[in-house]
Amino acid sequence: MAEISDVFFVDGMRTPFGRAGEKGMYWNTRADDLVVKTIIGVMERNPAVPGDLVDDVAIAATTQQGDQGLTLGRTAAILAGLPQSVPGFAIDRMCAGAMTSVTTMAGSIGMGMYDVALAGGVEHMGRHPLGGDADPNPRFLTEKLVSADALNMGVTAERIHDRFPHLTKERADRFGMLSQHKAQAAYDAGRFQPDLVPVAITDAQGAWGLATEDEGRRPQTTMEGLAELKTPFRPHGRVTAGTSSPLTDGATMSILAGGGAVKELGLAPKMKLTSFAFAGVAPEIMGIGPIPSTEKALRKAGLTISDIGLFELNEAFAVQTISLLDHFGIADDDPRVNPWGGAIALGHPLAASGVRLMIQLAAQFAERPDVRYGLTAMCVGLGQGGSVIWENPHFDGKKRK
């Protein structure tokens, strides 16, 4: 009879993230091939996990069409060479797609139905722009259920500035600049590279290359430069390209396992799941979604925000992230927050980003045995937030000097 189980994040890897569009490094690369690379990479790095023990493969994509459709979890599993006995499916919660892949598989593992699962996401925003073939129900507008521009994420970010005037453009600019500087420092220290799966790419002339680093970084960013950028979402607005995550292509993948499988296979998991939660807010101001989802996850875990020693928050927009920090009384430049930078620098391939947060938190846990709990959280289009709290298996109870 199945028993309730602990859930562990065994490992995670991702492709380097590329700029979306014709000038991006993945313009000639299929979305499903990006997923396949991550599956192969993470399975090769974990030979103690036999492919035939994988109970399911959950892969998220926001725009599920073309090479990003056709039940990605199943098709990518076959293409990656997993046994045909391994099932799979596709999932969508927009920006929190990969996060939902993880929590969905975690629920199955926690209930004792699964022992091992793969969970991740992909977004090829060059091939499949957000909302490309979407056909919103006319009732949304005729019955005034949702504002006409609620699907414009930049406009929703401007509304956070409207609602909270103390979250100034200068604060957002500084947060965006620091994201760039922290990401480059982490690259220089070799912190990202171990978890990146190289991807073979071709350019417009058919010449081969190898993608090994995130393409969109701008480490030379300055406050003076940010102050001069245009505000594309509103005349005389406050949100700019320098305080927004860029359009991005990329894929992520993780291995999850229950306590029994961890013991039986002799695995050394990188994180233990403590709690998770999703919450809804008004679509017109979707960026504040992680606030109620984090409060909910903390309640479920019996923790407070002061128990969280590391934060990996998805930087869809700088103002969205600092709204959460402001709510919980955390400084914009708190060293616990996105210590290696975030999506403003690295990119945000929508449905893939949730596992990117987890990969970074897991790597930081290994360096920080003084930290017991960490949070991964993100806002979600159409007014949602998602939060997952993790426990550090390396925690030793000693305070860091």
- 331-375: per-residue pLDDT in tens? 999 999 999 999 999 999 999 999 999 999 999 999 999 999 999
Mean pLDDT of 202-215: 92
Specify the higher pLDDT residue, 141 or 15: 15
- Give residue-wise pLDDT tens across range 173-207: 999 999 999 999 999 999 999 999 999 999 888 88
Specify the higher pLDDT residue, 288 or 401: 288
329: left (phi over 0), alpha (psi -120 to 50) or beta: left
d(CA 390, CA 395): 12
Q: Which residues are catalytic?
A: 95, 348, 379
Confidence at residue 303, expressed as pLDDT on a 0 to 100 scale: 98
Confidence at residue 133, expressed as pLDDT on a 0 to 100 scale: 74
- Whole-prediction pTM value? 0.97
Averaged confidence pLDDT in the chain: 96
Which long-range contacts link 206-211 to residues 24+ away (Cβ below 8 Å)? 209/25, 211/15, 211/16, 211/18, 211/25, 211/26
Confidence at residue 143, expressed as pLDDT on a 0 to 100 scale: 87
**Predicted confidence (pLDDT) at residue 142 exceeds the cutoff of 90:** no
Domains of the chain: 149-193+273-388 (3.40.47.10)
Mean pLDDT of 119-123: 98
Confidence at residue 140, expressed as pLDDT on a 0 to 100 scale: 84
d(CA 31, CA 13): 16
For the record, the structure tokens of 45 come out as 């790095």
Cα–Cα distances in Å, from 198 out to 13, 26, 82, 385?
A: 10, 12, 20, 31
- Give residue-wise pLDDT tens across range 237-286: 999 999 999 999 999 999 999 999 999 999 999 999 999 999 999 999 99
**Predicted confidence (pLDDT) at residue 1 exceeds the cutoff of 90:** no
**Predicted confidence (pLDDT) at residue 131 exceeds the cutoff of 90:** no
Return the percentage of the chain with pLDDT > 90, whole number. Answer: 91
Confidence at residue 289, expressed as pLDDT on a 0 to 100 scale: 98
**CA neighbor of 54 nearest in space, from 258, 245, 201:** 258
Confidence at residue 397, expressed as pLDDT on a 0 to 100 scale: 82
Confidence at residue 398, expressed as pLDDT on a 0 to 100 scale: 79
Mean pLDDT of 106-116: 98
Confidence at residue 234, expressed as pLDDT on a 0 to 100 scale: 93
| One-letter-per-residue 3-state SS of the chain | CCCCCCEEEEEEEECCCEECCCCCCCCCCCHHHHHHHHHHHHHHCCCCCCHHHCCEEEEECCCCCHHHCCCHHHHHHHHCCCCCCCCCEEECCHHHHHHHHHHHHHHHHHCCCCCEEEEEEEEECCCCCCCCCCCCCCHHHHCCCCCCCCCCHHHHHHHHHHHCCCCCHHHHHHHHHHHHHHHHHHHHCCCCHHHECCEEEECCCCCEEEECCCCCCCCCCCHHHHHCCCCCCCCCCCCCHHHECCCEEEEEEEEEEEHHHHHHHCCCCCEEEEEEEEEECCHHHHHHCHHHHHHHHHHHHCCCHHHEEEEEECCCEHHHHHHHHHHCCCCCCCCCECCCCCHHHHCCCHHHHHHHHHHHHHHHHHHCCCCCEEEEEEEECCCEEEEEEEECCCCCCCCCC
What pLDDT band is residue 297 in, cutting at 50, 70 and 90? Answer: very high
What pLDDT band is residue 401 in, cutting at 50, 70 and 90? Answer: low
**Predicted confidence (pLDDT) at residue 16 exceeds the cutoff of 90:** yes
What pLDDT band is residue 148 in, cutting at 50, 70 and 90? Answer: confident
